[in-house]
Structure 1
Amino acid sequence: MQIDFLGMQAFLCIVEQGGFLPAATHLNLSQTAVSHRLRKLEDSLGMKLLTRTTRAITLTDAGRALLPRVRKAMQELELSYDTVRQHAGSAPHWLVFGCLPTLAATQLSPALLRFATQHPDISVRVLDDSIGEIAEHVHNGTAAFGVSLASSNRFGLDMDVFAEEPFVLACPPRHRLARAREVDWERLRGEPLIRISLPAGNAATIDDALGDRRLQFRWAYEAQHTSIALDFVANGLGLTVVPALSATRAPGVVTRPLAGPSVARHLAVVTRHGAVLAPAAQAMRDLLVAEIRDRLAAVHERRA
């Protein structure tokens, strides 16, 4: 059953204001609009609520029976509205954004600490998901922006490429390659390698760089998440190739630059097409981008 709230509001206002004209003024409507709302309510009920003469407005028996119920219902609605509005005013403001897990695990905390100093009243929700999921979050408006990879997406999102992150070889500290200044892919022939598949996206990047040569290597294990592959390395199961920043804090693992070919991924901030970020979201975006760029600069310095 549909409830005609606008009709009940007009009915109550006509009675309490003493006529159609003062009710229209109170509701900021035309007198015709108020009359139409009342007539629509009466039609839905199948009975007259008011009798109107040139001098006065009189309640019918049905109108007198309905009036106290309508008045109570409107009072409860107003109370509920005020309660929700007060809650909205006191509830924490949330900033939601997406970030690749390989970046979220190592780069977020310093940026979040700075953000908390600048915006202490804003709570933050991080959606550490895959490339496709981040794009969907941004497209749906669930996330203000996403820190992801520069890649095509079906949503037509805007993409701001801000850094290139090299892939590195991750190996145990006592492995023979751990002392090499740089490791050529040819030196990995015969080594047990750990492949990182979807949803990380690392495998596709490596496959594109190697082409058919990828078939010449011994992929002994496969994991879906970079953290699992790094744990395999720390426990001596093999070697893996990961984005440089993802291994900066991995225990029991050292990294070495790769060559022949070098492999890299392009990091980008994705937003809805034409969207302008709110000031807090823009601040978070800038802090995170700056943190990632600083960390990558340190990586490049170590390689030089």
Structure 2
Amino acid sequence: MNPTLRQMRAFVAVAKTGHFTLAAEYLHITQSALSGLIKELEQTLGARVVDRSTRKIGLTDIGRELYPLFSQMIDDLDGALANVADHTRLKKGIVRIAAPQLMSCTLLPEAMAAYRALHPDIEVRLADTAVESVIARVLSGEADFGIGPERDPAPTLHVRTLFEMPFALVFPKGHELEAQARVTWHDVSRYPFISLQGQFTERLLDDMHASLREVPLKPAGEVTFMTTALAMVGAGLGVTVCLPYAERLATSYGLAMRPIEEPQLTRRFFVYTRPGRSLSPAAESFIDFLFGHVEHTYAEAAVHDTPPR
């Protein structure tokens, strides 16, 4: 026995309305088509489910037994399909993001607020974490996707470049560097440099060594988070470098930001997703929105058409 969904819907409609004409109108089909579906169902089951008479329609014993079962199955299916439709129409859904602490207090809240204005029913959850933990959260499934810079070893993830930006020097307003027409890495090396622990500084020194054939930069202190470095610069303990997307935060600390030349060193940030795992419609929607938001908001700061290093 293998009754079809159309047959079950036809039977439930007849059972609810008690009338073939009303049931046909409810299903938006002809009465003859409805009668054909009931006959097909009875042939499939090998038993009658409806007693027909000139005055009224009643259910047989088997029909009364099947009605609540078929009705519940259809309700459950319709509920599940409505839930899927809500997801695809972005009427519901959850997006889970893993991102470094600095990006989590600058770029992403702005993007989340703009996205919520368009899709208020989508819940976006942000996990602010150390840079080195972003990829682990994506691999474990804690996050739908992660955002972060390139890291060694290369992760077994699907990677899309979100942006590439040049480093900028961050120093207190009124600093003597503010009077210079341009700032170079040799200028930076004359002052105590507050750096970040781990691959941030390692990659920066490697890039400088490859470009300058010497490494003039000597970190005077290393911290875990860029917000700490900015606070230390604000207290007059040195200078640091940052990417332009954090300019508003630097300004809130009373700091100035200037591009650094000779050479222009850049950092790329990526969107990391797990290969072989489909994203939800909400996650795909937010990623597409994020690319557009970054392109629109940080167009002047972004570097384009640069070869990968």
Deviation sequence 1:41-74 (CA, Å, 0-9, x none): xxxxxxxxxxxxxxxxxxxxxxxxxxxxxxxxxx
Secondary structure of the equivalent of 2:258? Answer: strand
Compared CA separation, residues 295 and 93, structure 1 to 2 (3 A): closer
Distance 1:105 1:270 in 2: 19
Distance 1:290 1:138 in 2: 22
1:140 maps onto 2:140 in alignment: yes
CA contact (8 A) 2:164 2:302 kept: no
1:256 equivalent among 255, 258, 261: 258
Compared CA separation, residues 182 and 202, structure 1 to 2 (3 A): farther
Distance 1:119 1:186 in 2: 47
Secondary structure of the equivalent of 1:249? Answer: helix
Compared CA separation, residues 283 and 112, structure 1 to 2 (3 A): same
Distance 1:268 1:221 in 2: 27
In structure 1, the residue matched to 2:169 is 169
Give matches, 1:198-213, under 5 Å: 198=198, 201-211=199-209, 213=214
Distance 1:294 1:235 in 2: 33
CA contact (8 A) 1:104 1:128 kept: yes
1:152 is displaced (CA, Å) by 4.8
Secondary structure of the equivalent of 2:301? Answer: helix
Q: CA RMSD in A?
A: 2.7
In structure 2, the residue matched to 1:104 is 104
CA contact (8 A) 2:189 2:217 kept: yes
In structure 2, the residue matched to 1:299 is 301
1:248 is displaced (CA, Å) by 2.9
Compared CA separation, residues 181 and 103, structure 1 to 2 (3 A): farther
Secondary structure of the equivalent of 1:217? Answer: coil
Deviation sequence 1:160-185 (CA, Å, 0-9, x none): 11310211100111111123343111
In structure 1, the residue matched to 2:188 is 188
Q: Structure 1: which 5+ runs fail to align?
A: 1-81
Q: Which amino acid aligns with 1:213?
A: E
Give matches, 1:15-26, under 5 Å: none
Among the aligned pairs, what percent are the same residue? 27
Secondary structure of the equivalent of 2:129? Answer: coil
Q: Which amino acid aligns with 1:158?
A: H
Distance 2:139 2:219 in 1: 36
Normalising by structure 1, we get a TM-score of 0.62
Give matches, 1:72-111, under 5 Å: 93-111=93-111
Deviation sequence 1:235-255 (CA, Å, 0-9, x none): 111111112222332221101
CA contact (8 A) 2:138 2:145 kept: yes
In structure 2, the residue matched to 1:228 is 228
In structure 2, the residue matched to 1:65 is none
Distance 2:293 2:203 in 1: 23
CA contact (8 A) 1:205 1:265 kept: no
Q: Structure 2: which 5+ runs fail to align?
A: 1-75, 84-91, 304-309
Q: Which amino acid aligns with 2:262?
A: G
1:158 is displaced (CA, Å) by 0.6
Q: Aligned residues, how many? A: 211
Compared CA separation, residues 93 and 300, structure 1 to 2 (3 A): closer
Q: Which amino acid aligns with 1:263?
A: L
Secondary structure of the equivalent of 2:167? Answer: strand
In structure 2, the residue matched to 1:131 is 131
